[in-house]
Chain A
C-alpha cells in the first residue's frame, strides 16, 4: 500500500510507524565530575524551563555515514561530555528551595532507530511535523530527578542516510548554546579539538542583592504565568497548536522592498510579513503586541551554557494590517531589546516559582539567523537539511526564522530562510491561505 504523500495528516501518522526498532541507552562523561557538584539555575533559566528545543539534522548516505557504527558515534561523546558535564546532570527540587541541576554524571539518553523509508522520500514530505518521529518528544517529569535533560536519536534510513534528532531542555541554555554543544561533538568525532577556549562558567548562587526599588514596569514583560497541569514541566496546552514551515529566498524579500538603498534585514521583513498576514485574518485574537526575541551570538567564551536571550514586546497603536509592510519591518528592526532584568522580581528567589512561558506569551518572533545550524559535521560531511522547532510554546504562537542551507542554482547562490510557524490550528490554515494568495509563498 503506497501512502499518498500529498495527504499530509495521513502522512504524519504513517511516518510515525515508519520509524521502528527503538533501542535506548545512556552515555556519561568520561571522567567522574566529583561529589556534590551542582549548577544553579538562573532566573532566566527558570523562565525558560517549560520550553524544549527539538532539532533534526539529516545526513545523506555516503561512505562516511555508512562507516559510522553506533560505537563510533558514541565514543567521542565521552570526552565531549567531560566539557559539557552539566547536560548529563539531573534536576533536583527540594521543598522550599530553588530547583537546580545536580551534576551527577547520570548521562544523556541515546536512542537508535530505523526507518523504512529512504531519506529522499522523507524529505520530499514538506509537512512540517515530519521531524516528530525522529526526535524524542520527552519533557522533564513526572519524575524530575530521573529525567534526562538532553536526548539524541540516531535514525538510519533504508537508503543508508541518517537523521540525528536532538532534544534539549531550554533551561540548560539557549539555541546558541545547544547548537554549539552538538557542534562540538561533531568536532570530537573528527579528532581532538583544541580546548583552550572552552570553559564553562558554573553558575554560583547569586549574592543576595538588597531589595531593589521596584520601578513600575515601563515595558510590558514578555512572559506569561501558567499553571502546570501535573508533575511534568510542560506548558499546558489549552488549544491545539499546529506547525507549518516554508522557505523564503532572500531575493524574494528584496523584491518586496522595492528599489530602496538600505534593505531591511530578512528577519524584520519576515516578522512584519507574518504579523500583517495574521492581522489580515481579522479575528478577535489579533493582537497589537508581539514579542521579539533574539539570541546573543556574540558569545563570551566563559559562558558556554547560558540563556542569553534578549526579548521585548512591541505594542502597536493600531492593527498591524493597517501599517505598511516596510514601516512595520523598520519598527521591528529598530525596537530596542532589553536584558530582561525585570524578570528578577518575578521569580521568587527562594523557590524559583512561579512557572512561566516566554515563547508564545505574546505572538513571538524568534531570530535564529546567526545560529550555526549547519555546523554539525560528521567527519567533514554537513547535513543536507536541518529541521528545528520549539516545544512548549504558549497559546499566542511563535515564529522561528532560521538560516536555510545555502544552495547554488543556475542563477547563482541562493540564500534563503526557513520559517517555522507554530499557531493554533485554525490560524495556521488561514495564514497559509493569505501567504500564498498575496505573496506567493508556501
Chain B
C-alpha cells in the first residue's frame, strides 16, 4: 500500500517533467519560426490595411531608376551565385558491401583455447586468454583466416596476401554487383589496412585485379589503426570536392594473418582474442544522378587526434616483447584515454549536430559552473536528440559499455555494436559497416534518419562521421547478416562458461 502512494507522485512528477522538457525543446528548436510568424502576420495585416494605391505611392516615392534596379538585381544574383558555388559538393554513399567470412574459417571458443594451450606453453598466459574470451562478448561464429588454424600458425607473405585477396575481392565483387558499377568508372580508390602493408600496395592489388584505369587516383593508408575507416571516408570526401562527377571506392579491412601474436606477454595477447576477419567496400559519389539511388549522404566528418599527449600516443603501441616477438601492446589506461578522446570529439561535433535546445542547456550549465558554482554536475547533451542510430566501433565489450554510459544510451541504441561484436568479433575499421548493415537488416533505417559512426584507434584517435539516410532501406537486406539476422538480438551473458 505505501508503495503505490509514493510511486504515484513520482510518476506524475516524471510525466510533468517530460512535458516540460518537450515544451522547452519545441520552443528553443523552432525559436526563429516562433519569432518570424508574428512578424509576418503583422506585416501582412499592415499591407492589407494600407491598400494597393498607397503601396504604389510608397514605391514611386523611392525614386528608383533603371540603373539602380539593374545594379541591385546584379548584386543579388552575384551574391546568390557565390553562395551556391561555395557550398561543398554533396557526397553520396551509393551502397556498400561487407565481407561474409566462409564457414570454413569459423573458430569456436573451445578450438581457440585448445590451440592456445598447444602453442603457448605458459599456463598463466593461457588462463589469461581464457578469462578474456569468457568476458569478451564474442560468439561461437567468429572467423580467423586459414593460416591461423594451423598449430603453430603459419603466417607467411603468401598466406597474408591470400587473406587480403579473399576478403577484399569478395567485398568489392559484391559491391560491384549491387551497384552495377563498372571498374572502368572508378575514379578514386582509397584502401586502409593498418597492419599489413606489402609492396606493391593493396590498392595496387585491387587495380591489378579489376583492371582499373591508368589515371585512377589511388591511396593506401596503413598504420592508422581501427579508426582508419573514417579517415578514408574523410579523404575520399575531400577528393570528391576537388574532382567533379567522380566515383570513389573506399575499402576498409584488417589483415590478421601476419599479426597473430605468438609470445607470452599478456597485454599483447589481448588482440588475438578479439580481432577477427572482416572487410567492407563502400561506393561514394558526387554525381547528381546518384542522388536518386543513394542510401546515405555524408553530413559531417570530425577527426580528433590526441597524439600530442604522450600517454595517449603510447597506449596502443606495437613493439617487441622480452623474447623479441613483436605484438601490439595495449596499455591499462586505454579506457580512460578513449573516454577523453571521446569527450574531445563530442565537444567539436556537439555544436554542429545538436539541436538548439541541447546546446543552450549545455551553454547555461557551462556558464553556471564557471561563474556560479563549480560543483554543479556538467550537463551531458542528449545525443539521442541528434541521431536515430549509433554505430560504435566494436572494439570490445568494455568500449561499448563505456560509451553507453558516457552518452547515456539505451540498450537498443548499442544493440548493433554488441551484436556485431558477437557475430563477427572485432573486425577493426570495417566493424562500423557491419553494424550499419545490422540496423538495415532489422528494418530500422528510415528516410531522414541520422546515423553517427564513432571509431577509435591507435594514436590515439577518435573519429566521427554523420550520415543522413536518403531512402528507407527495405528488408530483407542482402549482406553478411542475411542468414542469421532472425536469431538476433541474442542475450550475451556477462561471463560465458567455457
Measured CB to CB, the residues of A under 8 A from B are 23-28, 30-32, 71, 74-75, 78-79, 90, 104-107, 143, 146
Q: Closest Cβ of chain A: how far from B105's Cβ, in Å?
A: 10
Measured in the bound complex, the distance between the Cα atoms of B107 and A30 in whole Å is 10
Q: Are B110 and A26 in contact (CB under 8 A)?
A: no
Who on chain A is nearest to B115 by CB? A26
Q: Assuming the A-B contacts A28-B111, A32-B141, A106-B111, are A71 and B106 also in contact, with contact meaning beta carbons closer than 8 angstroms in the complex?
A: no
Measured in the bound complex, the distance between the Cα atoms of B116 and A106 in whole Å is 12
Q: Are B146 and A28 in contact (CB under 8 A)?
A: no
B 77-135 contacts with A by CB, 8 A: 103-104, 106-111, 114-115, 117-118
Measured in the bound complex, the distance between the Cα atoms of B151 and A78 in whole Å is 19
Who on chain B is nearest to A74 by CB? B104
- Whether, in the assembled complex, B309 has its beta carbon less than 8 Å from a beta carbon of chain A, the answer is no
- Whether, in the assembled complex, B74 has its beta carbon less than 8 Å from a beta carbon of chain A, the answer is no
Of B108, B115, B154, which is within 8 A of A32 by CB? B108
Who on chain B is nearest to A36 by CB? B497
- Additional A-B contacts beyond A25-B151, A105-B140 (10; CB < 8 A): A25-B149, A26-B111, A31-B103, A32-B108, A32-B139, A79-B103, A90-B114, A105-B110, A106-B110, A107-B108
Who on chain B is nearest to A23 by CB? B150
Q: Are B103 and A30 in contact (CB under 8 A)?
A: yes
Measured in the bound complex, the distance between the Cα atoms of B498 and A106 in whole Å is 11
Who on chain B is nearest to A32 by CB? B140
Of A23, A24, A28, A106, which is within 8 A of B106 by CB? A28
Q: Closest Cβ of chain A: how far from B151's Cβ, in Å?
A: 4
Of A25, A104, A146, which is within 8 A of B108 by CB? A104
Q: Closest Cβ of chain A: how far from B496's Cβ, in Å?
A: 9
Who on chain B is nearest to A147 by CB? B114
Which one of A27, A28, A74 has the greatest number of beta carbons of chain B within 10 Å? A28
Measured in the bound complex, the distance between the Cα atoms of B105 and A71 in whole Å is 11
Q: Are B108 and A28 in contact (CB under 8 A)?
A: yes
B146: chain A residues at CB < 8 Å are 71
Who on chain A is nearest to B141 by CB? A32
Q: Are A25 and B110 in contact (CB under 8 A)?
A: no
A30: chain B residues at CB < 8 Å are 103-104, 106
Measured in the bound complex, the distance between the Cα atoms of B117 and A31 in whole Å is 24
Q: Are A78 and B111 in contact (CB under 8 A)?
A: no
Q: Closest Cβ of chain B: how far from A276's Cβ, in Å?
A: 49
Q: Are B150 and A106 in contact (CB under 8 A)?
A: no
Sorting the interface of chain B by its residue count into under 10, 10 to 19, 20 to 34 or 35 or more gives: 20 to 34
A71: chain B residues at CB < 8 Å are 104, 146
Of B103, B117, B154, which is within 8 A of A146 by CB? B117
Measured in the bound complex, the distance between the Cα atoms of B111 and A30 in whole Å is 13
Measured in the bound complex, the distance between the Cα atoms of B114 and A27 in whole Å is 13
Q: Are A78 and B104 in contact (CB under 8 A)?
A: yes
Measured in the bound complex, the distance between the Cα atoms of B139 and A23 in whole Å is 28
Q: Are A105 and B111 in contact (CB under 8 A)?
A: yes
Who on chain A is nearest to B103 by CB? A30
Q: Are B108 and A106 in contact (CB under 8 A)?
A: yes
A24: chain B residues at CB < 8 Å are 150-151
B 45-73 contacts with A by CB, 8 A: none
Of A25, A78, A104, A107, which is within 8 A of B103 by CB? A78
Measured in the bound complex, the distance between the Cα atoms of B151 and A32 in whole Å is 22
Measured CB to CB, the residues of B under 8 A from A are 103-104, 106-111, 114-115, 117-118, 139-141, 146, 149-151, 154
Q: Are A90 and B104 in contact (CB under 8 A)?
A: no
Q: Identify whether the interface residues of B are mostly helix, strand, loop, or mixed.
A: helix
Measured in the bound complex, the distance between the Cα atoms of B115 and A27 in whole Å is 12
Q: Closest Cβ of chain B: how far from A218's Cβ, in Å?
A: 45
A31: chain B residues at CB < 8 Å are 103
B110: chain A residues at CB < 8 Å are 90, 104-107
Q: Are A25 and B150 in contact (CB under 8 A)?
A: yes
Which one of B107, B108, B109 has the greatest number of beta carbons of chain A within 10 Å? B108
Q: Assuming the A-B contacts A32-B141, A146-B117, are A105 and B154 also in contact, with contact meaning beta carbons closer than 8 angstroms in the complex?
A: no
Please name 12 pairs of A and B residues whose Cβ atoms are closer than 8 Å in the assembled complex, sorted by A.
A26-B115, A28-B108, A28-B111, A31-B103, A32-B141, A74-B104, A90-B114, A104-B108, A106-B108, A106-B111, A107-B108, A146-B114
Measured in the bound complex, the distance between the Cα atoms of B168 and A183 in whole Å is 36
A107: chain B residues at CB < 8 Å are 108, 110-111, 114
Q: Closest Cβ of chain A: how far from B141's Cβ, in Å?
A: 6
Measured in the bound complex, the distance between the Cα atoms of B141 and A30 in whole Å is 9
Who on chain B is nearest to A30 by CB? B103
Q: Are B104 and A105 in contact (CB under 8 A)?
A: no
Q: Closest Cβ of chain B: how far from A138's Cβ, in Å?
A: 13
Q: Are B104 and A75 in contact (CB under 8 A)?
A: yes
Measured in the bound complex, the distance between the Cα atoms of B260 and A179 in whole Å is 37
Who on chain A is nearest to B140 by CB? A32
Measured in the bound complex, the distance between the Cα atoms of B139 and A79 in whole Å is 19
Q: Closest Cβ of chain B: how far from A91's Cβ, in Å?
A: 12
B114: chain A residues at CB < 8 Å are 26, 90, 106-107, 146
Who on chain A is nearest to B147 by CB? A25
B149: chain A residues at CB < 8 Å are 25-27
Who on chain B is nearest to A112 by CB? B150
Q: Closest Cβ of chain B: how far from A164's Cβ, in Å?
A: 19
Who on chain A is nearest to B493 by CB? A35
A75: chain B residues at CB < 8 Å are 104
Measured in the bound complex, the distance between the Cα atoms of B159 and A25 in whole Å is 15
Q: Closest Cβ of chain A: how far from B207's Cβ, in Å?
A: 27
Q: Assuming the A-B contacts A28-B106, A32-B140, A105-B140, are A23 and B154 also in contact, with contact meaning beta carbons closer than 8 angstroms in the complex?
A: yes
Who on chain B is nearest to A75 by CB? B104
Q: Closest Cβ of chain B: how far from A136's Cβ, in Å?
A: 13
A74: chain B residues at CB < 8 Å are 104
Measured in the bound complex, the distance between the Cα atoms of B152 and A23 in whole Å is 9
Q: Are A26 and B151 in contact (CB under 8 A)?
A: yes
A104: chain B residues at CB < 8 Å are 108-110
Q: Are B108 and A105 in contact (CB under 8 A)?
A: yes
Measured in the bound complex, the distance between the Cα atoms of B151 and A179 in whole Å is 27
Who on chain A is nearest to B146 by CB? A71
B115: chain A residues at CB < 8 Å are 26
Measured in the bound complex, the distance between the Cα atoms of B108 and A79 in whole Å is 15
| Ranked 3 nearest A-B pairs via Cβ | A106-B110, A104-B110, A30-B103
B109: chain A residues at CB < 8 Å are 104
Q: Closest Cβ of chain B: how far from A258's Cβ, in Å?
A: 58
B117: chain A residues at CB < 8 Å are 143, 146
Measured in the bound complex, the distance between the Cα atoms of B113 and A143 in whole Å is 13
Q: Closest Cβ of chain B: how far from A139's Cβ, in Å?
A: 16
A25: chain B residues at CB < 8 Å are 149-151
B139: chain A residues at CB < 8 Å are 32
B108: chain A residues at CB < 8 Å are 28, 32, 104-107
Measured in the bound complex, the distance between the Cα atoms of B121 and A143 in whole Å is 14
